[in-house]
Amino acid sequence: MIRRTVLAAALLGLALPTLAQEVPAPPSPPAAPEPVTVKVVMTTELGPITIALETERAPVTAGYILKHVDEKRLDGAAFYRAYKITPDGSIGLVQAGIQDGRKLLPPVAHEPTTATGLTHDEGAVSLARAAPGTAQAQFFFILGSLKALDANPAGPGDNLGFAVFGRVTDGMDVVRKILNVPISATKGEGVMKGQMIEAPVKIISVNRLIPLPPNPAAKPAAKKPLPKRR
């Protein structure tokens, strides 16, 4: 009996490594889905810029800008500011927006980075503002890292930062071209003096990369009758 027990134990000991090898590894957890974005193409005089609007993470601000896009309000706007924070331009921003007040929608509620989880790093697009809740369709593109523009609840005074609502996915070379255009020596007031572009860079059009499907409820345009042949 003792010999059988020892033999069984020995066989069991030899079998354990084989059994361990045959146990399949647990499946890897599924990757988190990418946040939903809507891509738009901003065609400028210096080339196209593709922007992913953060419609999931920053729905208020991205939706506000997308409404301007869909209603063609940004067509004909311009880049008017180029600010090199470092002399070589590795850190800076360029600013654009609608100059014609008749094309602006009412101001949008402020959506801080503490709510969206977004940040002011390379390629981020953010909404310019004065007091929170006064922002309209004036926005700037980040070159380098400017996380000091993020919301900072521990900071003094107005610590809500600026609202990031998108990111450049293609065309940062165009953004850098805009940063390096000639600057006016006289335009601008206060801290903005020396940052205003001499000849603003025109935004020709802004369109969704994938157009909206046609509205089935929309009535087709009435066809004009062909002129009678004589």
Q: What residues does each domain of the chain span?
A: 38-208
Mean pLDDT of 90-108: 96
Q: Which residue has better confidence, 216 or 156?
A: 156
| Model pLDDT for residues 113-150, shown as the tens digit of each residue | 999 999 999 999 999 999 999 999 999 999 999 999 99
- Regarding predicted confidence, which is higher, 227 or 133? 133
Instruction: Report how far Cα 32 is from the mean position of its chain's Cα atoms.
Output: 19
Contact 58, 111 (CB under 8 A): yes
Whether 91 shows a pLDDT value over 80: the answer reads yes
> For domain 38-208, which CATH number applies: 3.30.565.10, 3.40.50.920, 2.40.100.10, 3.40.50.300?
2.40.100.10
Once rounded to an integer, what is the mean pLDDT over residues 77-93? 97
DSSP 112-138: -HHHH-----TTEEEE--SSTT---SE
Which of 54, 131, 46, 53 has its CA nearest to residue 82?
46
pLDDT band at 64; cut points 50, 70, 90: very high
Report pLDDT digits (tens) over 170-204: 999 999 999 999 999 999 999 899 999 999 999 99
- Burial label for 146, CB within 10 Å (0-12, 13-18, 19+), is buried
The predicted model scores a pTM of: 0.80
When comparing pLDDT for 48 and 224, which is higher?
A: 48
- What is residue 230's predicted lDDT score, i.e. its pLDDT? 52
Q: How far apart are alpha carbons 208 and 71 in whole angstroms?
A: 11
pLDDT band at 12 (very low <50, low <70, confident <90, very high): very low
